[in-house]
Amino acid sequence: MSWLILYRGSLSSCNYGCDYCPFAKTKNTRAELAKDAQELEQFVAWVKSRKEKIGILFTPWGEGLIRKYYQAAMTELSHLPNVTKVTIQTNLTCSTKWMEQVNKEKFALWTTFHPTQTSIEKFAHKCQELDHLNIKYSAGFVAFKEDISILEALRQAINPAVYVWANAYKRIPNYYTKEEIERIEQVDPLFRYNTQYHASLGESCRAGNTTFSVDGDGNMTRCHFIKESIGNIYESDLSQVLKPTPCTNATCGCHIGYVHLDKLNLAATYENSILERIPKEEFWRKTN
Ligand code: SF4
Ligand code: SF4
């Protein structure tokens, strides 16, 4: 049995100040951070106790990797025999020195560049540190129309062997022209998947069966987008909880959700790097 787990604990703070984000320049109290650390420790112990093969994507509200306890937890998880992958969404502002200790076969990063918060040069410099450490990662950001040239510059600035993804701004229908989509596809050939809310009601999705979301208290939902509780990893018999169930939402528009939608067949595109968003080379490098 193999599971892919999205973990989001009670952390809710960030060192960056993106103006659209509720966590911009927010701080947790010492007590809140201690609670988050304790939750994470309990989660790591649970993973250690399981027989299943487990891949983990941390999707914190805010920035986790500036916290030493996230660094320690990820390092430990990367060395566990039943862990297939440990990865996190990060703005890459943390130091990289600690990554010397991770198991590089199983550790990877989903990095996001924030054009309003740092420069391409600084971000590319951090990417070079990852390259020197042999850490696998993807990099990208939300490609607003006015930022397409920044996306192209990011592509030029970092290692050509690293996949650069672009998220689509979807709140305004038909926001992009055909030409803009084609231009973005020169950087990210998989961009078109992200421009849509995929019809998902009644569709077969691995969320709730082989992949699920967990919060700091162990409460499970099938994915981040359907809030109905399906159990608790510390209390439930997961063999009773996890089963194939059709999606109950009308659409699924976020990469961390629709990659599990069977009809899109994206498991074949990403294989065992689905959590850190690194497609197999044949799906993106040929056009670069
Ligand atoms: S880096 Fe991410 S979490 Fe932090 S303020 Fe920006 S969007 Fe929010
Ligand atoms: S299609 Fe999206 S919303 Fe529906 S169950 Fe899967 S991940 Fe959740």
Query: Which CATH code, of 3.40.50.20, 3.40.50.720, 3.20.20.70, 3.30.470.10, is assigned to 2-287?
Result: 3.20.20.70
What one-letter code names the amino acid at 210?
T
Ligand nearest to the CA of 248: 2
Q: How confident is the model at residue 288 (pLDDT cuts 50, 70, 90)?
A: very low
Distance 126 CA to ligand 1 centre (A): 17
The mean pLDDT of 219-239, rounded to a whole number, is 98
Using the atom order of ligand 2, give the atom closest to the CA of residue 208: 5
> Is the beta carbon of 162 within 6 A of some atom in ligand 1?
no
Ligand nearest to the CA of 25: 1
> Is the beta carbon of 256 within 6 A of some atom in ligand 2?
no
Instruction: Using most ligand atoms within 8 A of CB, pick from 210, 220, 225, 228 the residue to mutate for ligand 2.
Output: 225
Using the atom order of ligand 1, give the atom closest to the CA of residue 25: 5
Q: Looking at residue 111, what is its pLDDT?
A: 98
**pLDDT at residue 63 tops 70:** yes
Q: Looking at residue 84, what is its pLDDT?
A: 98
Task: Give the 3-state secondary structure of residue 122.
Answer: helix
> Is the beta carbon of 205 within 6 A of some atom in ligand 2?
yes
Q: How confident is the model at residue 285 (pLDDT cuts 50, 70, 90)?
A: confident
pLDDT tens digits, one per residue of 103-114: 999 999 999 999
Higher per-residue pLDDT: 286 or 86: 86
The mean pLDDT of 72-94, rounded to a whole number, is 98
CA distance 41 to 34: 10
Where helices occur in the chain by DSSP H, the ranges are 30-49, 68-78, 120-133, 148-157, 178-187, 191-194, 238-241, 255-258, 267-270
Distance 117 CA to ligand 1 centre (A): 9
Q: Nearest to residue 91, comparing CAs of 186, 21, 185?
A: 21
**Residue ranges per domain, the chain?**
2-287
Q: How confident is the model at residue 19 (pLDDT cuts 50, 70, 90)?
A: confident
Distance 48 CA to ligand 1 centre (A): 30
Burial of 48 (0-12, 13-18, 19+ CB in 10 A): middle
CA distance 258 to 250: 12
> Is the beta carbon of 23 within 6 A of some atom in ligand 1?
yes
> Is the beta carbon of 252 within 6 A of some atom in ligand 2?
yes
Task: Give the 3-state secondary structure of residue 253.
Answer: coil
Q: Are 197 and 173 in contact (CB under 8 A)?
A: no
Give residues with Cβ within 8 angstroms of 82, minimum separation 6: 47, 48, 50, 51, 52, 53, 54
Instruction: Using most ligand atoms within 8 A of CB, pick from 6, 193, 226 the residue to mutate for ligand 2.
Output: 226
